[in-house]
Chain A
Amino acid sequence: MSSVVRVERDFERQRNSDLILHMHMGQVEKLTMTAEGCPLLIRCKNFLCLTFIVPRERECQDVYLSLLEFSRPAEINKLYAFNYTSNESLEKTHGWDMFDLQSEFMRMGAPNENWVITNLNAQYELCDTYPSLLYVPATATTPVLVGSSKFRSRGRLPVLSYMHGENNATLTRCSQPLSGFSARCVEDEQMLQAILRANPGSDYMYVVDTRPKINAMVNKAQGKGYENESFYSNMKFQFLGIENIHVMRASLQKLIDLSELKKPSMNDFLNRLESCGWLKHIAAVIDTSAFIARAISDGTSVLVHCSDGWDRTAQTCSLAGIMLDPYYRTIQGFQALIEKEWLGFGHKFTDRCGLLESVEVKETSPVFTQFLECVWQMMQQFPCAFQFNERFLLTIHDHIYSCQFGTFIGNCEKDRLDLRLTERTYSLWGYLSLHSTEYLNPLYKKTYEIKQPVIIPNPSPQALRYWRGMYNRFESGIHPREAILDIISAAKDHSVSLEDHVLLLEKRVTQICKLLGKSEEAIQRKLQGHVSMDSIEGYLSGHIGDSPNVYTNAATPILSNHKTGPCDTPDAVEMVPLTSKGSFDSEAQLESTKGTSISGSLNHIKSDSESGFDEASSQLSRSGGVDELAGGGGMSMVRSPSSDMLTLEQLVAELKTVAIGWKSFRNVFNCSCASPFDHYVKKFHCWKCGQVFCVRCIARSIPLPGHYHRRPVPVCKPCYREVRRSPSTEFPLS
């Protein structure tokens, strides 16, 4: 049984064939028969919507039934992750040990004198949806913890979620109390007092109930509800109206209907956007999170809960974390945050994503999608504050549903341990780290961390946008034709490459000038572009003409080689008139200076290459290279012509390894491997040839001889082979 269905698409202008993961399929519907055949509508969880026309009805029925079966397996062990094997160089173990709760809490400064680790939940006996390690106030005794746990829905007692480094204010999370109409629990009251006392800077704290008050009251009838204010002193209770998962599910369904409209009128679009209420809910989540973040940055601790404390609580706690702590806005930190708030504290991914047949519809809800959208909305308001880009969020969203990785399988930490996911499946974090270059935001400013560590987004409706990148992701027509962020990151890479190349050229020019006996000062001035070219010209022509002894050996074979040789470069050709006449008068001639210099400096470069030529030698010439250079010049005079010719090739090869011009992304619709680029796919440049490739064709990095620092840089496959084969390089194979 293959987990991937290969299908022909009904509209021809698109790609001819497409792969869709069964796991991504949300709804499969058979529509009424038409003249051409039986239409089969597939709505995917990543908002791709396709209609297939199957010619015969019986086939359609077969396909329909098998799709229904495959898209929602009956048991958890049939999920794609347990069959999936990576064809990339991804190890199964990679990524599973990247994050652990203990080091994350260590980073925040816990445990400390106010907060301690408790082992009460080591075997998940206190609360089976919590992690095994819990951080609780130091003053809370075991009876208090156990008592409080018994008084909270599903045993989810108040535990530490985030500690704000600057003022020790904390964010704690729990589920609703089992208060009903009159019940109280002294231990739970003591627990909250202990949390309050753990923040000596404040004499009150907030208890945020993220539900609308009416919902909380309804829960009272079921023996749950909210804390009775008169039993808890020094607490400020706050209801903030985020709707429940059923409202969100219905709202998303309406949003999907909206996103599937073909050519809606402007009024129709706005009307439906309003009536689906999606953005209203997003605003409510952001507003609540901003309330929490503001309170904590003002030094007041906050306890957050909703009903079970794993949906709205997870959303708001993690968003407040992103607002408060710059670390969570980095690629690494964002994953740590998901690992802590969502995976650690038990968001029911399997249920909410509807991965299994057994999951009832009323358990599914786009809670995590909403969280990602809130992050995206914040990214729109603070474009320089995040290390990652939209693609990162979309990739995570895809793999929440794809089940390709074991990371999001199961409903809590205990489930995941029981399923032995770390042995049987791959980790998404490993995959993301392998692809991290695709997710970098070129606008990210690290200084944001210090200048404006706390970012509070504006939840007013004018500031929120419709996320077409998510909900209309597969409609290529409505996205910008050029992805500005990708263009910026390409431009950044390009200038890094050129600057590194310039450093190397300067080094070579310096070496040559030294060989010619120029003073250090003159070389520097020349490199700055101040020197009058006449003096050099006079010197060069004179010098080369006058003392052939030194250079004939080196230069003559080279020149003759190049007049006839196959590897003519502009540099080499320019060389010929230069040595005889030499005319330096324009900027353009600088290139040819290089050419001349090359012929002279070969001697040294030879010695350079013999001494290892890459990392070691460049380090050398940067620090104490001056003496070495002079010595090298002397030594080279005894080189035989044949070895000098080899050196020239090396030098030419060295200069050719760096692309000066990079191809523009514009009007590039396919990679050379024929895989199409759409708006979502990141395009890459080969640093050697400057052409545009997809991620699979550029998977390798190698140091280029044309770069001074010799850092491994991405190149395409043909260039990779070429650089590896080239005689001038002795790089370790990667």
Chain B
Amino acid sequence: MEFVEFIKTPMVNSVTLRRPFTPDMEGTLCVTGHHLIISSRSDNHEELWLLHSNVDSVEKKLSGSGGTLALKCKDFLILYLDIPVAEDCINVASSVLALSNIDDITLRYPFFFRPMFDVIENGWQAFSAETEFNRFKECQEDWRISYVNKDYKVCPTYPHAVFVPKSIEDETIIKAATFRQGGRFPVLSYYHKDSKTVMMRSSQPLSGPSSKRCKEDERLVNSVMGMGKRGFIVDTRAQGVAKMAQSKGGGFELEAHYPQWRRIHQPIERRTSFHDSLIKMIEACNDSSSSMDKWLSKLESSNWLTHVKDILTSSCVVAQSMDKERVSVLVHGSEGTDTTLLVSSLAQIILDHDCRAVTGLTLVDFLLTLPVPGLP
């Protein structure tokens, strides 16, 4: 097996494991193909199994004859391993680094994982576009399932079946998709029974600096509106950001061409700043030596809670527009994959009591409209 190449030192003795807010533990460290195992080997046998793929970063610091490994994991676990021999330390570090970044996706853990329990239900069949559509019975007069994307050609990141307005033919959709970034044309995301309004999602229109327009896209978006009805386009970017996107070929819907829609900007930061913010927050959370003042100012400067608040605010705006003001909503940011996803799924959780049940939550469109699962 290829894994062996990466594992230079399979076992190290008398390693000390340190974790914030937890007593230290001494034991033996083992490196296997998919796991890092630390076992205390004492009477009350504490054992920690860590998946390599869970490791986000490996930092090693050599001091004297030994060294310390700092493993920061994707589930926010932070581990420090004091390894007595420097060579072992270097070997373990390089093994974990290599094993946590294997390129060949078929070597990853899911392909090796064998459940210890009896599989009762086939989870792969649990959710399908068709059953999902049945939940929205009431809107079947105006909407249909389209298989225009069955070969994933129109939009590689959409599922094979999507919900579109009944009055729009597949050819129109194909053309409209060319006007949206990544081909993510407007599709139905949620139908709200109480107010008979819909939430759609898409990516930004590619209007560009010259404010191009696309008849098919306009037809698709406008067809949702009946006579005299109005809708909101909730853009998850600040107005300035949306304008800037124009110079790079993106943009926003001009109200002249989408007369029944009003554009609202609900600024949420871009994905990249979430990441920085998360790193800062995790660091603050795991600093067990910080004083109250330091903790609060670190928490503040991480901006994490500000982002959370922004996302919730935007979702509430969408939910309230649909429920209280009884208007349909189209949500998009830039690519239509990150902030759009956050806002549209949270709005559903706010509006629909089914989405707050265990099976309902899995339904909320994370898997259905995410890029191919598994790609980083």
* B297 shortest CB reach to chain A, Å: 5
* A459 shortest CB reach to chain B, Å: 9
A2 within 8 A of B: no
Known: A266-B305, A274-B300. A280 touches B293 (CB 8 A): yes
- Does A270 contact B299, Cβ atoms closer than 8 Å? yes
Give the interface centre of A273, A460, A464 by most chain B CB atoms within 10 Å: A460
- Does B21 contact A270, Cβ atoms closer than 8 Å? no
Known: A461-B290, A461-B291. A266 touches B296 (CB 8 A): no
> Closest A-chain residue to B308, C-beta based?
A266
A528 within 8 A of B: no
List, in ascending order, chain B residues with CB within 8 A of A277's CB. 292-293
Q: How far is the CA of A526 from the CA of B297 in the complex (A)?
A: 66
B258 within 8 A of A: no
A652-699 CB contacts (< 8 Å) to partner B: none
Residue in contact with A461 in the complex, picked from B296, B303, B305, B309, CB distance below 8 Å = B296
> Closest B-chain residue to A268, C-beta based?
B300
A535 within 8 A of B: no
Residue in contact with A274 in the complex, picked from B297, B303, B305, CB distance below 8 Å = B297
B35-87 CB contacts (< 8 Å) to partner A: none
List, in ascending order, chain A residues with CB within 8 A of B21's CB. 458, 460
List, in ascending order, chain B residues with CB within 8 A of A460's CB. 21, 288, 290
- Does A273 contact B296, Cβ atoms closer than 8 Å? yes
* B249 shortest CB reach to chain A, Å: 33
B306 within 8 A of A: yes
B285-322 CB contacts (< 8 Å) to partner A: 285, 288, 290-297, 299-300, 303, 305-306, 309
Known: A271-B300, A274-B297, A460-B21. A266 touches B292 (CB 8 A): no
Residue in contact with B292 in the complex, picked from A267, A271, A283, CB distance below 8 Å = A283
List, in ascending order, chain A residues with CB within 8 A of B294's CB. 461
- Does B291 contact A267, Cβ atoms closer than 8 Å? no
- Does B306 contact A274, Cβ atoms closer than 8 Å? no
Mask for A452-464, Cβ within 8 A of B = 1, else 0? 0000001011101
A53 within 8 A of B: no
A279 within 8 A of B: yes
- Does A279 contact B292, Cβ atoms closer than 8 Å? yes
Size class of B's contact patch? 10 to 19
Residue in contact with A280 in the complex, picked from B285, B292, B306, CB distance below 8 Å = B292
- Does A461 contact B295, Cβ atoms closer than 8 Å? yes
List, in ascending order, chain A residues with CB within 8 A of B288's CB. 460
- Does B285 contact A279, Cβ atoms closer than 8 Å? no
Q: Using a CB–CB distance below 8 Å, which chain B residues touch chain A?
A: 21, 285, 288, 290-297, 299-300, 303, 305-306, 309
A89 within 8 A of B: no
> Closest B-chain residue to A279, C-beta based?
B292
A87 within 8 A of B: no
- Does A274 contact B285, Cβ atoms closer than 8 Å? no
A623 within 8 A of B: no
A265 within 8 A of B: yes
List, in ascending order, chain A residues with CB within 8 A of B309's CB. 266
List, in ascending order, chain A residues with CB within 8 A of B292's CB. 274, 277, 279-280, 283, 461, 464
Q: How far is the CA of A458 from the CA of B291 in the complex (A)?
A: 13
Mask for A271-291, Cβ within 8 A of B = 1, else 0? 101100101100100000000
> Closest B-chain residue to A281, C-beta based?
B292
* B123 shortest CB reach to chain A, Å: 31
Residue in contact with A279 in the complex, picked from B296, B300, B305, B306, CB distance below 8 Å = B296
List, in ascending order, chain B residues with CB within 8 A of A280's CB. 291-293
30 A–B pairs (Cβ distance < 8 Å), ordered by A = A266-B300, A266-B303, A266-B305, A266-B309, A267-B300, A267-B303, A270-B296, A270-B297, A270-B300, A270-B305, A271-B296, A271-B300, A274-B292, A274-B296, A274-B297, A274-B300, A279-B292, A279-B296, A280-B291, A280-B292, A283-B292, A458-B21, A461-B291, A461-B292, A461-B294, A461-B295, A461-B296, A462-B285, A462-B295, A464-B292
> Closest A-chain residue to B303, C-beta based?
A267
List, in ascending order, chain B residues with CB within 8 A of A462's CB. 285, 295
Size class of A's contact patch? 10 to 19
Q: Using a CB–CB distance below 8 Å, which chain A residues touch chain B?
A: 265-267, 270-271, 273-274, 277, 279-280, 283, 458, 460-462, 464
> Closest A-chain residue to B305, C-beta based?
A266
Residue in contact with B306 in the complex, picked from A267, A273, A461, A464, CB distance below 8 Å = A267
Q: How far is the CA of A266 from the CA of B297 in the complex (A)?
A: 12
Q: How far is the CA of A428 from the CA of B138 in the complex (A)?
A: 59
> Closest B-chain residue to A276, C-beta based?
B296
> Closest A-chain residue to B300, C-beta based?
A270
Q: How far is the CA of A458 from the CA of B288 in the complex (A)?
A: 11
Give the interface centre of B21, B299, B305 by most chain A CB atoms within 10 Å: B299
Residue in contact with B293 in the complex, picked from A266, A267, A274, A464, CB distance below 8 Å = A274
> Closest B-chain residue to A267, C-beta based?
B300
> Closest A-chain residue to B284, C-beta based?
A462
* B292 shortest CB reach to chain A, Å: 4
Known: A274-B300, A462-B285. A266 touches B306 (CB 8 A): yes
Q: Knowing that A274-B296, A460-B290 touch, tell me 10 more A-B residue pairs with CB under 8 angstroms.
A: A266-B300, A266-B306, A270-B297, A271-B297, A271-B300, A274-B300, A280-B292, A461-B290, A461-B295, A462-B295
Give the interface centre of A271, A273, A279, A462 by most chain B CB atoms within 10 Å: A462
* A480 shortest CB reach to chain B, Å: 15
Q: How far is the CA of A170 from the CA of B297 in the complex (A)?
A: 40
> Closest A-chain residue to B301, C-beta based?
A267
Known: A460-B21, A462-B285. A265 touches B296 (CB 8 A): no
Give the interface centre of A265, A274, A280, A464 by most chain B CB atoms within 10 Å: A274
Q: How far is the CA of A270 from the CA of B291 in the complex (A)?
A: 14
List, in ascending order, chain B residues with CB within 8 A of A265's CB. 306
List, in ascending order, chain B residues with CB within 8 A of A266's CB. 300, 303, 305-306, 309
* A445 shortest CB reach to chain B, Å: 23
List, in ascending order, chain A residues with CB within 8 A of B291's CB. 280, 461
* A212 shortest CB reach to chain B, Å: 14
List, in ascending order, chain B residues with CB within 8 A of A271's CB. 296-297, 300
Give the interface centre of B291, B293, B309 by most chain A CB atoms within 10 Å: B293
* B77 shortest CB reach to chain A, Å: 15
List, in ascending order, chain A residues with CB within 8 A of B305's CB. 266, 270
Q: How far is the CA of A273 from the CA of B300 in the complex (A)?
A: 10
List, in ascending order, chain A residues with CB within 8 A of B300's CB. 266-267, 270-271, 274
Q: How far is the CA of A230 from the CA of B292 in the complex (A)?
A: 35
Q: How far is the CA of A280 from the CA of B295 in the complex (A)?
A: 10
List, in ascending order, chain A residues with CB within 8 A of B296's CB. 270-271, 273-274, 279, 461
* A699 shortest CB reach to chain B, Å: 36
List, in ascending order, chain A residues with CB within 8 A of B290's CB. 460-461
List, in ascending order, chain B residues with CB within 8 A of A274's CB. 292-293, 296-297, 300
Q: How far is the CA of A464 from the CA of B290 in the complex (A)?
A: 13
* A664 shortest CB reach to chain B, Å: 14
Q: How far is the CA of A464 from the CA of B296 in the complex (A)?
A: 11
Q: How far is the CA of A711 from the CA of B120 in the complex (A)?
A: 46
List, in ascending order, chain A residues with CB within 8 A of B295's CB. 461-462
Q: How far is the CA of A484 from the CA of B309 in the complex (A)?
A: 23
Q: How far is the CA of A274 from the CA of B300 in the complex (A)?
A: 9
Q: How far is the CA of A274 from the CA of B292 in the complex (A)?
A: 7
List, in ascending order, chain A residues with CB within 8 A of B306's CB. 265-267
* B295 shortest CB reach to chain A, Å: 4
Which 10 pairs from chain A and chain B are nearest by CB? A461-B295, A274-B296, A270-B300, A280-B292, A266-B306, A461-B292, A266-B305, A266-B309, A279-B292, A283-B292
> Closest B-chain residue to A265, C-beta based?
B306
> Closest A-chain residue to B294, C-beta based?
A461
Q: How far is the CA of A200 from the CA of B297 in the complex (A)?
A: 47
Q: How far is the CA of A462 from the CA of B290 in the complex (A)?
A: 9
List, in ascending order, chain B residues with CB within 8 A of A461's CB. 290-292, 294-296
> Closest A-chain residue to B287, C-beta based?
A462
Give the interface centre of A271, A274, A461, A464 by most chain B CB atoms within 10 Å: A461
Q: How far is the CA of A461 from the CA of B303 in the complex (A)?
A: 18
> Closest B-chain residue to A460, C-beta based?
B288
* B262 shortest CB reach to chain A, Å: 24
Q: How far is the CA of A267 from the CA of B303 in the complex (A)?
A: 7
